């Protein structure tokens, strides 16, 4: 989940294609796109596999009700903001609130991904370690990383963290 244009679909498509397919032209997501992938956890034995069923949700308000219904049985939340958009960072609390209104929020972990780290000159969101720790504590976030769907940086890593959590 996360604001429109933060890169949720780009992250999903790059994960699905192992970094091969970055959608350059923006195409907004209507309600939800579902995709599935069997993922082997790096460094683990061959049996350590997780099947991800990814609900790539729309960031647009008009789909909030349908998104809420669809995510209520999810196991983990990947929350996305855009490091070049302060409002997308500010709005994280709204997304966490929305998530908490679904059944899914009952002890379900939240993984945070600050996307578009390749756009160095346009960055407006800076998180130092102490503000990151404070935010993670306040909102119960399990892991917070930055990366770039475009450069396939951090994407494999954040899915690995989620897979490791799911296999526990
Ligand atoms: N430079 C850069 N652009 C990106 C990155 N990720 C996504 N984009 C661009 O940002 C725009 C929005 O990406 P999407 O993945 O469609 O955004 P979304 O969060 O799925 O948006 P909604 O479906 O409307 O909620 C597209 O033009 C992408 O090409 C990234 O890591 N770096
Ligand atoms: Mg999308």
Q: In the chain, what are the domains?
A: 8-167 (3.40.50.300)
Q: How many angstroms separate the alpha carbon of residue 27 from the centre of ligand 1?
A: 9
Distance, CA of 168 to CA of 164 (rounded, Å): 6
For 53-98, how does the pLDDT look when each residue is reduced to its tens digit (9 = 90+)? 999 999 999 999 999 999 988 999 999 999 999 999 999 999 999 9
Ligand 1 cavity residues, CB under 6 Å: 4-10, 23-24, 26, 28-29, 58-60, 115-116, 118-119, 148-150
For 119-131, how does the pLDDT look when each residue is reduced to its tens digit (9 = 90+)? 999 999 998 888 8
Tokens 């709005």 -> residue: 91
Tokens 């998104």 -> residue: 67
* Model pTM score: 0.96
| Mean pLDDT, rounded, for 138-163 | 95
């Amino acid at each position: 989940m996360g604001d429109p244009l933060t890169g949720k679909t780009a992250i999903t498509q790059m994960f699905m294609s192992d970094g091969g397919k970055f959608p350059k032209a923006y195409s907004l997501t209507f309600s939800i796109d579902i995709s599935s992938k069997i993922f082997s956890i790096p460094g683990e034995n061959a049996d350590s596999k997780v099947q991800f069923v990814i609900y790539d949700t729309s960031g647009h308000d008009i789909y909030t009700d349908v998104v809420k219904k669809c995510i209520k049985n999810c196991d983990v939340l990947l929350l996305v903001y855009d490091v070049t958009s302060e409002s997308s960072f500010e709005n994280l609390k709204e997304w966490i609130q929305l998530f908490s209104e679904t059944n899914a929020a009952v002890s379900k972990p939240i993984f945070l991904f600050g996307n578009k780290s390749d756009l160095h000159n346009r960055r407006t969101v800076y998180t130092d370690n102490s503000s990151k720790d404070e935010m993670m504590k306040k909102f119960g976030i399990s892991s917070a990383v930055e990366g770039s769907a475009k450069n396939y940086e951090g994407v494999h890593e954040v899915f690995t963290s989620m897979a490791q959590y799911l296999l526990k």
